[in-house]
Structure 1
Amino acid sequence: MARLCTLAVGSVTVLLARGVIAEAQITNDTFFYGQSPPVYPSPQIQGLGDWAAAYSQAQAFVAQLTIEEKTNLTGGYAEENGCSGNIYAIERLGFPGLCVTDAGNGVRGTDFVNGYASGIHVGAAWNKGLTYRRGVDMGGEFRAKGVNLQLGPVVGPLGRVAEGGRNWEGFSADPYLSGKLVAQHIRGVQSNGVGTCTKHYIGNEQETDRNPTTNSQNETVASLSSNIDDTTMHELYLWPFVDAVHAGTVAIMCSYNRINNSYACQNSKTLNGILKTELGFQGYVVSDWFAQHSGVASAEAGLDMVMPSGLAFWGPNLTEAVQNGSIPEARLNDMATRIMATWYYTNQNDGYPARGVGMPASLSAPHEVVNARNPSARPGLMQAAVEGHVLVKNVDNTLPLQKPRLLTVYGYDAVNPQFNTPTPGLSSWALGLTSTDVYSVLCGFSSALGPCTPFLGYAANGTIYTGGGSGATSPAYISAPLDAIQARAMQDGDTVVYWDTQNINATGAVEGATDACLVFINAEASEGVDRPALYDSYSDSLVINIANQCSNTIVTIHNAGIRLVDNWIDHPNVTAVIYAHLPGQDSGRALVSILYGDVSPSGKLPYTVARNESDYGAILSPVQTPEESEYSLFPQDAFSEGVYIDYRSFDAKNITPRYEFGYGLTYTTFSYSDISISKIPNPRNQSAYATGAIIPGGHADLFANVVTVSATITNIGSVGAAEIAQLYVGIPASGQPVRQLRGFEKVFLTPGGSQTVHFYLQRRDLSVWDAVAQNWRMVVGGHYSFSVGASSRDLPLTSTFTL
């Protein structure tokens, strides 16, 4: 086979049919759109950055292996334990194998672990330090259970499709916020020696058609192709993966979809060209479960490990392909070296717990108990649960409650789940219910409400604290809202009445003596299914019915994604509304601390809430290709909106949202003053383009601070609370959004207190992707705008600066 080489910046390798290398010069941004140019060979690990020692140790280890032993490192196998996947041990050299397991919100499918706040909840907290602490605590549990690799965190999907079924697993619809938080999560988890697997790489923005299917003609229908231009790829979807690689994530999971018509797990451009060359990724690429669709092609394209089994395409076939020269042995050596380097990089060769020691194959059978919960994690669990709540309406200081004597509670989401009927995101799902069971499960519990419509968007069987599928959690307990409210009432000597919502009608259900009516609804989501809508009439009718009868109606929404409220938000009797997201096991306790004013809410929306579904435009719903279409066997999704998703789209189209990105209320008021901007000299690089050695994440100087923006925040109210100050930048280049998030700081201020916050902007924060030069470029001489404030549309401080 032809020998391939890495070409210069500004060109890509193209392998012709006769095995001759040619250079295709990039002349515009759409060069990659709809096609995925081949980039070979797969770059070998070099020990860049802080990987040098691990690389040397891995090289020495792999040099002792047979071809069969190297092959065994690359493919999962079935074992009677609770790990999501396993890698064979090499006992003669003291390697115990690997246990990889779900997921980004905590250890799934086992006992004696905590149920952490989900990604969207952490994103709503906007707290870098708290995200790191969550990672540390979570990593301790994975380690105690003998898990080598956490299958998380999630930054793909980013949240392009408003109805996306897995948006709740990620942090935000903004790449900067997602990137900053994913880096903290990775550093926290890996501080315990547990590896992280950042997923899903890349363009996996919907669940519909994510995997191949068979149509009515018994023809194979390929996965959806996410067709993304080069600039959009770099400036939007790749952005948080850069932060993940720079933070040291040891694995990247390739996704189910195709990218520019090439499957993600055999896409040489995204794996060899971008991830392993441009970003200098030193870890290994692992497939999503059953996402491999070829043998030799996926190996050459940069896939290093297959899950859950290597036998479908690799296994003995991979060994034979190396022996007969179809795959260079150097490629197999690189796979094995990358996998072993992560073992040494995380120090798992030194006193690590036995593989899967706390992951029994069946929880119903007698098994050794490994209590992974550390008491030191309790404060962080609770704090994270509290900070992800976002107060969006609070008329005349309805909240916090002022010593209520009688509270009436309504709604299916108020109560603890009834485990005799499986419900998405609850215990039975967390312990292994697959996405293929979604429809039967939902119809099972929704039938009481009328004819079964799969996935109604709410869970009539109890409160939700996590989403469904592989990202769900397995908590030891659930603090439901009603339970926590009753406990507080018992403490204070008050009364709480809960009404069965099935029996509520328009003629009555509200006690005249009540101080407040607390209504609980939710918006569920799950892996494997995209949401049918951003609201549901059953829940909206419940809110309206109570509000029509109660002058002080407080609505709490546990939402696994965007939830619209315009059917009732302007009702004069709806006095307060909280987006409670997915708080984890301490859900009720966290909410009660906010309702009663023990703490002030401090979360802000990590996405945009529209007034109407149509405001999201073409990216409201997932793409579905009709069977009669010319693309019926190869579905296509044109990412033609480019970087204009969520608030960037609303700004570009001048659409007023109901609640903008970054919006959230507290129990006090803050003022902003004294913006200042200063340049940080960088004598090593005076060029507009990024230079310097490649380190994990890209050119080294991309991560150098170049500008500092400062502003003063003052609490001018009467309650101590935290404020999230946000910095937005307008980059003076064609095709750039009017503003994009480039900094945030969360500070707690007592009444009358002030603090100056500093935003440190890196070179990459002020750069645009130059598709022709294939490099990041700052706009020298252009007038950058800098705005600081409380949300993406509340920016009282604005200034300009020229680089």
Structure 2
Amino acid sequence: MDIDELINQLDLPTKIRLLTGADMWSLPAIPEIGLDRLVMSDGPIGVRGEQWSSADPSIALPSPTALAATWDVDLVRQVGRLLAQEARRKGVHVLLAPTINLHRSPLGGRHFECFSEDPHLTGELGAAYVEGVQEGGVATTPKHFVANDFETDRFTVDVKVTDRVLREAYLAPFERVAEAGAWGMMTAYNSVNGTTMTEHSALVNGVLKGEWGFDGLVVSDWTAVRSTEAAALGGTDVAMPGPFGPWGDKLEEAVREGRVLESAVDDKVRRVLRLASRVGALRPAGGTTSAQAEPIDGVALAREVAARSFTLLRNDGDLLPLAGTPTLALIGSAADEARIMGGGSAQVFPDRTVSPLQGLEARGEVRYALGTDPRVRLAPLAVPTTAQFLDAGGDVLAEHPLATTEARWVGQLPSDVDGGLLSAVRLRAAYTPDLTGPHELSVAGVGPFTVRVDGATVFDETIELEGDDPAAAFLSPPEKRVVVELVAGRPYELEVTHPAGAFSGMAFVAYTLGHANPSPGEDALIAEAVELARSCEVAVVVASTTLEVESEGFDRKDLRLPGRQDELIAAVAAANPRTIVVVNAGSPVEMPWVSDVAAVLLTWFPGQEVGHALADVLYGDAEPGGRLPTTWPVRLEDSPVVNVTPVEGEVPYDEGVFIGYRAWEKRGRAPAFWFGHGLGYTTWSYDSIAAEGSTVTLAVTNTGPRRGREVVQVYLSAVTPDDRPARWLAGFDVVEAAPGETVLTTLFLPQRAFQVWTEEGWSTVPGEYTVEAGRSVADLRASATVKI
């Protein structure tokens, strides 16, 4: 297939039409050249598809920080293959993932959606993710290119950063995924050194497309293209969404007037068609798609990845794995309603979620107490719900079943709904309460809402948008509540109606009917949990962050667990010395009680199979395989890099390459847990190390009582460090061994590990280097010296 011949068949308006979305999630079809619609979808933990709705469920995998905690490129590659399978099932050609920005500050709101603080670990895992997805014939778009490492003022902020820091830290993962053959890349909202990334020719045309030879498609983040000529010349190929925007007729005019060369437009079209060819959306009439690989069991993989990601931070007295089946006091709101994912565009709707309570009840005697409820918003009711799409006269245009009382269609309405006739969306659900008393109902959304219970209106108000981020209307909308008296055992008909319509062919319907049972108050709930813990052999407290803490659209204000969870944990630990704290968070939290509990298990945002995976790990069917991909501080104020708040529109990256463990070592401070830390259920010895040039061979032995998995980490340090970090990650491998078994692993350190960026480009720094291997950056067991 000659793509240039196809381009020659297109007139200028058709070419330009291909460079802006036809709607929220797709590029237009051009049947005369064999081009189908090119459909895009958010990730990275699942494939949402064109409908952001529980009516179209998705596998929900663990968060990217959990994937990174496995340190396992083969496992991440298998995750990519599953996501490709999901994408094909939903008719998606382009997955808008992975997110490979860095954990520069623990306050970053999308910390959970990125892999690591370390550019090498991020790059290797990102490359495996890209390769796995694209093996399945689905494109990836690693994002957000570049320096989009926080959320505050993300649309307008200007990041000030030197070329060396860009190259050695923030660009490094993007270079690695480009080398891995990514078919797409997404530009960020922010500016870098005065130029917004959708117009940044030096970085997009010069570095990405020129120096790195990237032949894929560069798509903007949604609404990030705000200019015609500058963005067209800056290297962005596709402006999303559409069909309206700053290109279209304006770009056609710029071409006809010579301000933008038609050859530049042709290059963009060429990249669109090349991607279409790669994903099977561009083919001759009668063409066939290639056979697909054996199907992957998504539920089983979600469970395996979760267990492999769980990171055991503390295990005093080897309480874990649990011996026998002790009576468990299970405590915490997240034990019953697990926080399985972060908020924002990473959100998907699974067709099932196995809570810790469900998973552990299947294994032994479990007694549950809420303890305290830190959630600021009420959760939707998990009851069968009907979404009714109404016309102006109140007649039903269509009905669709939902799994919860959450309405969400962003971009596309169901295919049987005429957007031109749509006037409102109504949710109807039958609910039978377990408790008599004052129940809270809430509406989270923007605009007018009417809530009825058994036909009686209990809420009829307009909710106003807070702040100036329009994405907050569906990412983190405001909430209002009302109290209603309900009787246990009696069924009630709940109904919420909200005006809705389609504008320029796109729909924005996003609201939730939330619910909370009557509560005796936080003091009584904590007291009840403490008494339960005292009466059981082992106490398990599941502590979590909330949607208001970790989500796209805003950064964190602190690292404290929300609500009274710290108080709850301290009280439970005082009542039962055999207390296990399960931390259900996507990024670091402060743990003032850490030395008072027997065990701390970090589950990240663990995906839909969290309950089964937690039971597997607590009872020893699986080993907690996770190692920290980022450093955890004792307190926020100890963190060497914190700032995410622009001053006069700018955030300077004055810390240079010293982020994460590099910064901790430079400042000589000890965190709560170092980068790479994680305990297993066996022990290991590092017996020997041999290094010659960039090749390192290690022998490690499982010295414990059971089969286990070890993450071998290799760090480099320069004998004469100059202005480089004290040490930096240069390689890693996951090995497995039976008790008493010794395994050899050979790692080939990349040439870049011995280089720095100079005014002349990359330069290998000659001299002696110390090669150190161990279990974390602070637990190094073997060393050798090489000369370069």
2:559, 2:589 within 8 Å by CA — same for their partners in 1?
Answer: yes
Which of 247, 253, 264 does residue 186 from structure 2 map onto?
253
**Aligned 8 A contact 1:667 1:719 in 2:** yes
Partners of 2:628 and 2:285 lie apart in 1 by 39
Q: 1:658 aligns with which of 672, 686, 692?
A: 672
> Take 2:706 and 2:553, find their aligned partners in 1: how far apart are those partners?
44
Q: Paired residue for 1:543?
A: 569
AA in 2 matched with 1:778? T
Asked if the contact 2:36–2:281 (Cα under 8 Å) also holds between the matched residues in 1, the reply is: no
Aligned to 2:394: none
Deviation at 1:92, TM superposition (A): 1.2
The residue aligned with 1:267 is 200
Distance 1:497 1:724, change over 3 A: same
Greater strand fraction, Structure 1 or Structure 2:
2
Secondary structure (helix, strand or coil) at the match of 1:201 reads coil
SS of the residue 1:510 aligns to: helix
Contact persistence 1:518–1:554 (CA under 8 A): yes
C-alpha separation in 2, matches of 1:764 and 1:60: 40
Correspondence for 2:654 among 640, 655, 667? 640
Distance 1:339 1:568, change over 3 A: same
2:625 aligns with one of 581, 593, 602: 602
Distance 2:78 2:85 in 1: 11
Q: 2:83 aligns with which of 138, 142, 146?
A: 138
Change (3 A) 1:532 1:511: closer
* Code of the aligned partner of 1:760: F
Q: Which residue of 2 aligns with 1:778?
A: 764
Equivalent residue runs for 1:460-479 within 5 Å: 463-479=338-354
The corresponding residue for 1:520 is 542
Q: What residue in structure 1 maps to residue 406 of structure 2?
A: none
Instruction: Tell me the amino acid that sits aligned with residue 164 of structure 1.
Output: G
Q: Check conservation: 1:143, 1:353, Cα contact below 8 A.
A: no
Contact 1:672–1:711, Cα closer than 8 Å, also in 2? yes
- The AA in structure 2 aligned to 1:580 is T
Q: TM-score, normalised by structure 2?
A: 0.77
> Which digits, 9 at most, give the CA deviation of each residue in 1:271-296, with x for residues without a partner?
11211112111112111011112110
- One-letter code of the match for 1:730? S
- Which residue matches 1:120? 65
Measure how far apart 1:734 and its partner are: 2.5
Aligned 1:278-297 pairs, distance under 5 A: 278-297=211-230
Residue 622 in structure 1 maps to residue 644 in structure 2: yes
* Equivalences for residues 283-682 of structure 1 within 5 A: 283-309=216-242, 311-349=244-282, 374=295, 376-416=297-337, 463-489=338-364, 494-501=365-372, 502=522, 503-505=524-526, 508-510=530-532, 512-524=534-546, 525-536=550-561, 538-565=564-591, 567-571=592-596, 574-617=597-640, 619-625=641-647, 631=648, 635-679=649-693
Query: Aligned partner of 1:585: which letter?
Result: Q
Partner letter of residue 665 of structure 2?
D
Q: Deviations over 1:349-401 (max 9, x none)?
A: 359999xxxxxxxxxxxxxxxxx995533332221111110001101111111
User: Do the aligned partners of residues 670 and 77 (structure 1) sit closer, same or farther apart at CA in structure 2, a change above 3 Å counting?
Assistant: same
Provide the residue aligned with 2:728 in structure 1: 740
Tell me, in whole angstroms, the C-alpha distance in 2 between the residues paired with 1:517 and 1:769. Answer: 52
Deviation at 1:312, TM superposition (A): 2.0
Q: Distance in 2 between matches of 1:403 and 1:273?
A: 61
Q: Is the 8 A contact 1:208 1:623 kept in 2?
A: yes
String of CA shifts for 1:513-540, please: whole Å, max 9, x gaps.
4110110111241000111211135211
Rounded to whole Å, the distance in 2 between the matches of 1:801 and 1:528 is: 46
Task: Confirm whether residue 793 of structure 1 aligns to residue 737 of structure 2.
Answer: no
Measured in 2, the distance between the counterparts of 1:748 and 1:513 equals: 39
Once the two structures are superposed, what CA deviation does each residue of 1:619-641 show, in whole Å capped at 9, x if it has no partner?
3242143xxxxx3xxx0111000
Deviation at 1:206, TM superposition (A): 1.0
Say if 1:511 and 1:184 are closer, same or farther in 2 by CA, change over 3 A: closer
Cα offset, 1:511, TM superposition: 5.1
> Who is 1:106 aligned against?
46
Question: Where does the alignment leave 5 or more consecutive residues of structure 2 unmatched?
Answer: 288-292, 373-521
Are 1:118 and 1:466, in contact at CA under 8 Å, matched by a contact in 2?
yes
More off after superposition, 601-610 vs 499-508:
499-508
Q: Following the alignment from structure 2 to structure 1, what is the Cα–Cα distance between the partners of residues 533 and 262?
A: 76
Write the distance in 2 (CA, Å) between the matches of 1:550 and 1:335: 64
Cα shift at 1:662: 0.2
2:701 is the counterpart of 1:714: yes
CA contact (8 A) 2:629 2:676 kept: yes
| Amino acid aligned to 1:664 | G
Runs of 4+ residues deviating >6 angstroms: 351-354
1:234 is aligned to 2:109 = no
- Structure 1 gap segments, 5+ residues each: 1-55, 79-83, 212-222, 355-371, 417-462, 626-630, 680-706
How far off is 1:475 after superposition? 1.1
Q: Aligned partners of 2:285, 2:305: CA distance in 1, in Å?
A: 28
Distance in 2 (CA, whole Å) between partners of 1:350 and 1:746 is: 41
Conserved in 1, the CA contact under 8 Å of 2:701 and 2:740? yes
- Residue 176, structure 1, aligned to residue 161, structure 2: no
CA deviation profile, 1:133-183 (whole Å, cap 9, x unmatched): 000011111012111110001102x11121101111111111111110111
Contact map agreement 1:398 1:575 (CA 8 A) in 2: yes
Contact 2:326 2:538 in 1 (8 A): no
Residues 351 and 129 (structure 1), Cα distance of their counterparts in 2 relative to 1, 3 Å cut: farther
Please state how far the C-alpha of 1:480 moved relative to its aligned partner.
0.7
Aligned residues: 622
What is the CA–CA distance in structure 2 between the aligned matches of 1:415 and 1:373, rounded to whole Å? 35
Cα distance per residue 1:215-247 (max 9 Å; x no partner): xxxxxxxx1111110110000001110111111
Q: Does 1:723 align with 2:715?
A: no
Superposed, 1:83-232 pairs within 5 Å as 84-108=24-48, 109-110=52-53, 111-156=56-101, 158-211=102-155, 223-232=156-165
* Mapping 1:678-689, distance limit 5 Å: 678-679=692-693
Contact 2:189 2:196 in 1 (8 A): yes
Contact 1:144 1:353 in 2 (8 A): no
* 1:755 to 2:755 alignment: no
Q: Which amino acid aligns with 1:579?
A: L
CA distance in 2, matches of 1:623, 1:405: 48
Q: Which amino acid aligns with 1:105?
A: I
TM superposition shift of 1:495: 4.4
Please tell me whether the aligned partners of residues 164 and 621 of structure 1 are also in contact (alpha carbons under 8 angstroms). Answer: no
1:321 Cα deviation (Å)? 1.2
Cα pair 2:664 2:670 within 8 Å, conserved: yes
CA contact (8 A) 1:404 1:515 kept: no
2:57 corresponds to 1:72? no
Amino acid at match of 2:570: I
Asked if structure 1 preserves the Cα contact closer than 8 Å seen for 2:360 and 2:366, the reply is no
Counterpart Cα distance in 1 of 2:226 and 2:61: 34
